[in-house]
Structure 1
Amino acid sequence: MRTIVITGGTDGMGAALARHFLRAGDRVVVIGRSRAKFDALLATVTADDQSAVSRAEFVAADLSSIADSRRVVEHLNANHERIHALVLAASFIRQRRHTTPEGREASWALFFVSKYVFVTGLAALLGAAERPVIVNTAVPGARVDAIDFDDLDMSEGFTFRQSNAQQRRANELLGILATDQNPDLTYVTWGPARLVRSSFAGEIGMGMKIAAAVLGPLLGQRPAAAVRPIIGLINTPTPGRAAYRGTKKLPLTVGDHDDEDATRLAKAVEADL
């Protein structure tokens, strides 16, 4: 039986993946903020298969908190022997800079630092599985110079666009660190091919709210359809790094100093943990 860990697994694409793998007979660990949403998700599965109750686990956490992220990693290490797939799908969109109670910029903490904690902290459990997979729902293709190494928290000149680009590029570099440590690991940065019908959790502007309300039902994919490529990547992994939009494989973004940048990024994050 495989163990699948999904952050952000109570909503949208994360929930669709949790339902799929529970129905497929896998053990699924869902990490999210709402126990009620997890219970509702599980009810849709157990209506047809009561065995899912014994294979489903919920861990409550706010992953913009690094303390919470580390607590979850410690829990997983203490209670599981291996992880076959780790899906990093937690999301909470903020269009403006926000500081967490820990003093970190919230988007950077959620969309990168927490992922770094999971990828590095669960390396041994992933290494214990045959052909392990990490799917990081960070849209690939950010420019190579998107990271401000001197101001990772973007305390000066924050913009939503620059914040998004920095997170995406950092997650590509995280793949270098992860696959260097484990050559058998499949590490994929992935984004949907088109709009997904979603609640767009977060603090978003009126324009995005209108787009979600109007365009989502008209043009958006249902989450269950959007995640089919992820399911394929987990079921038939290819070791190494890759990038996808939907089912379309994209060339990896390659810079002249990728290895050095990955090492520099890791040192900066470790110094702040």
Structure 2
Amino acid sequence: MRTIVITGGTDGMGRALARHYLAAGDRVVVIGRDRAKFETLLDAAGSQAMPDSDAVPAEFIAADLSSIADIRRVVEQVRREHERIDALVLAASFIRQRRQLTNEGYEASWVLFFVSKYLFVTGLADRLRAAGRPIVVNTAVPGARADAIDFDDPGMSQGFTFARSNAQQRRANELLGLLATAGDPRLAYVTWGPSGLVRTSFAGEVGPGMKITAAILGTIAGKRPDVAVRPIIDLIDSPAPGRAAYRGTKPATLVRGEHDREDIARLAQMIERDFR
């Protein structure tokens, strides 16, 4: 039985992956905001304890992953309860079109879409190393330009735009793969984005126009989440060590800048200084 940890596992593609791996008989740790959605997921998956074991194949951890305190708590709980992690899927999402500070004083999108992922990947590194064929799937769409990170002001207190914030997060998550695979050459680290629209609940604080447009286009042209995640399932089931990027089933080119190693070192120093 594998152990699959999924952030954002109660909605959209994260939920579809959780259902798949519960049906496959794996132990699935779902991290999300809403226990009621998790209970609905269990009902849909028909999840029960294995008949010949006391192990429960499904576990829910409630958390707000834009909270550093919650992230730390969850990482420690996962470490305490699991000696091995075969797959870590980073799929939590909450779209914010405007800059917003958390109660801890941090820019919420930067924390959710990058800092939380950094803390999960580094905090669970030894649990991933304990697996035979470990993989991290980071649902950060690959392909942002090499200079997308504002190292002087990653919280974008000046000049915040949704486009700049999104590009910065995506680039940082590509670079995170350098750090992760340097620590474990057997690790597969994949930045992955869907090849088109996906029918999801589109959680976030966005204008009505964007929500309506997403709902209409998703209904007309979007893939069901269970269909959209099939490429991720293939990657998890047959992981290839090293960094990779995909849009759907198609490999994407990893952006390689002149200062990639220096840039991930700067990011690591920044996180260790500001968020530990």
Distance in 1 (alpha carbons) for counterparts of 2:75 and 2:38: 19
Query: Secondary structure in 1 aligned to 2:37?
Result: helix
1:27 alignment counterpart: 27
Distance in 2 (alpha carbons) for counterparts of 1:245 and 1:126: 24
- Asked if the contact 2:10–2:34 (Cα under 8 Å) also holds between the matched residues in 1, the reply is yes
Distance in 1 (alpha carbons) for counterparts of 2:142 and 2:100: 24
- Residues 236-255 of structure 1 show CA distances to partners (whole Å, capped at 9, x for unaligned) of 00000000000000111000
The offset of 1:45, in angstroms, is 1.3
**Amino acid paired to 1:180:** A
1:51 alignment counterpart: 49
Q: How many residues align?
A: 271
**Amino acid paired to 2:163:** R
Distance in 1 (alpha carbons) for counterparts of 2:104 and 2:175: 24
**Amino acid paired to 2:23:** R
The offset of 1:50, in angstroms, is 3.0
The offset of 1:264, in angstroms, is 0.7
The offset of 1:136, in angstroms, is 0.1
1:41 alignment counterpart: 41
The offset of 1:54, in angstroms, is 1.8
Q: CA RMSD in A?
A: 0.9
1:176 alignment counterpart: 178
Distance in 2 (alpha carbons) for counterparts of 1:12 and 1:251: 26
- Residues 108-165 of structure 1 show CA distances to partners (whole Å, capped at 9, x for unaligned) of 0000000011000000100100110000000000000000000011011000000000
The 5-angstrom pairing of residues 95-110 of structure 1 reads: 95-110=97-112
**Amino acid paired to 1:6:** I
The offset of 1:207, in angstroms, is 2.6
The offset of 1:202, in angstroms, is 0.5
Q: Kindly, what percent of the aligned residue pairs are identical? A: 71
Distance in 2 (alpha carbons) for counterparts of 1:205 and 1:103: 24
Distance in 2 (alpha carbons) for counterparts of 1:183 and 1:66: 28
The 5-angstrom pairing of residues 56-205 of structure 1 reads: 56-205=58-207
Query: Secondary structure in 1 aligned to 2:56?
Result: helix
**Amino acid paired to 2:109:** S
2:12 alignment counterpart: 12
- Asked if the contact 2:63–2:71 (Cα under 8 Å) also holds between the matched residues in 1, the reply is yes
- Asked if the contact 2:177–2:189 (Cα under 8 Å) also holds between the matched residues in 1, the reply is yes
Moved more, 200-209 or 120-129: 200-209
Q: Which runs of 5+ in 1 are unaligned?
A: none
- TM-score normalised by L of structure 2: 0.97
- Asked if the contact 2:48–2:57 (Cα under 8 Å) also holds between the matched residues in 1, the reply is no
Q: Which runs of 5+ in 2 are unaligned?
A: none
The offset of 1:210, in angstroms, is 1.7
The offset of 1:51, in angstroms, is 3.3
**Amino acid paired to 1:201:** A
The offset of 1:94, in angstroms, is 0.1
**Match for 1:244 among 219, 241, 246?**
246
Query: Secondary structure in 2 aligned to 1:54?
Result: coil
1:226 alignment counterpart: 228
